[in-house]
Amino acid sequence: MLQTQINWQKVDNLLPVIVQNVATLEVLMLGYMNQEALDKTLSERKVTFFSRTKQRLWTKGESSGNFLNVVDMSLDCDNDTLLILADPIGPTCHTGTDSCFSHLSVEPDWIFFSKLESLIAERKGADPKSSYTAYLYSRGTKYIAQKVGEEGVETALAATVKDRNETICEAADLAYHLTVLLQDANLSWAEVIGKLKERHGE
C-alpha cells in the first residue's frame, strides 16, 4: 500500500505533495499531508492536506467548492514526496487563478490549448452576438462542420503551395473550428488523444 511505502520518519510526518492538473499537467499547488490527511485523500478521492497554520486537516475546496478530485498519484524514487494528478473544480488558488504558480513568463503550449478548449466550451448557449464562437454554436452542427471542411481544404492548399506562414494560419483556423465542432458534439480533445494512445498501444 502507498501509506507503507512512505518514509514518514524522513519527512518528519509531513509529506510534501505536488498537485498537477491531469489534463494539462500544470502544477496547481504544493501542500503537506500527515498520515491522517493521506488516508482521507485516498478514501474520499479529494485532496486533503494538513494545515501547519491551523494544525488541522484541510480539504482543498471545503469552503470554496473548488475541490481537487484525485485521478492518480505516485511517490518519487525516495518515497518522500507525493505527486497527485487531479481534476480541479474551479480555480485552485485563493486569488482566483488556476494555479498558485501563476507568474511564469512562459506558458506551455498544451496548457494554452486546454484553456482555449475550456473557453470555447463556455461559449455554448451564449448570445450569438457576443462572440464568433457563440455565433457558430447558434448556426448548428451542419454549419460548424462546413466551416471545418472549408478550413481543412484551405490548410491543404496552403501546404500544397508550400506557403509556410499561410499553412500555420490555416491550421490554426482548422484547429479552432474543429474544437468548436467537438464541443458541439459534447466531445473533448482528451477523448481524441485517448483514441490516439489506444491506436499506439499506450
Q: 16: which strand partners?
A: 32
pTM for the predicted model, two decimal places: 0.72
Please give the helix or strand (H or E) that residue 63 lies within, else none.
none
Average pLDDT over the chain, rounded to an integer: 94
pLDDT given for residue 4 in this prediction: 87
Domain-embedded: residue 41 = yes
The four Cα atoms 109, 98, 114, 88 give a dihedral, to 10 degrees, of 130
Domain that holds residue 40: 2-88
Question: What is the C-alpha separation between 157 and 163, in angstroms, rounded?
Answer: 9
What mean pLDDT is predicted for residues 137-157? 98
- Cβ neighbours of residue 59 closer than 8 Å, sequence gap 6 or more: 40, 44, 46, 47, 48, 49, 67
Residue 151: give its domain's CATH number: 1.10.287.1080
pLDDT tier at 202, thresholds 50, 70, 90:
low
Of 108 and 15, more confident: 15
Domain-embedded: residue 23 = yes
Both 13 and 78 in one domain: the answer is: yes
Domain count along the chain:
2
Domain-embedded: residue 194 = yes
Both 177 and 132 in one domain: the answer is: yes
The phi-psi region of residue 74 (left if phi > 0; otherwise alpha if psi is between -120 and 50; otherwise beta) is beta
Both 75 and 141 in one domain: the answer is: no
How big is the chain by its Cα radius of gyration, in Å?
A: 21
- Output the CA–CA distances (angstroms, integers) from residue 148 to 23, 47, 81, 164, 165, in the order listed: 24, 40, 45, 20, 19
Domain-embedded: residue 96 = no
pLDDT given for residue 107 in this prediction: 73
pLDDT given for residue 102 in this prediction: 79
**Nearest one of 29, 10, 6 to 18, comparing CA atoms:** 29
What mean pLDDT is predicted for residues 98-106? 83
Of 88, 122, 155, the residue that ends a domain is 88
Does the pLDDT of residue 47 top 90, yes or no?
Answer: yes
Reported as a single tens digit per residue, the pLDDT across 114-140 is 889 999 999 999 999 999 999 999 999
What mean pLDDT is predicted for residues 34-53? 97
Domain-embedded: residue 114 = yes
Q: 65 — phi, psi (to 5°)?
A: 85, 0
Domain-embedded: residue 102 = no
Does the pLDDT of residue 106 top 80, yes or no?
Answer: no
pLDDT tier at 146, thresholds 50, 70, 90:
very high
**CB 53 within 8 Å of CB 4:** no
What mean pLDDT is predicted for residues 26-37? 96
Domain-embedded: residue 80 = yes
Residue 9: give its domain's CATH number: 3.10.20.810
pLDDT tier at 2, thresholds 50, 70, 90:
confident
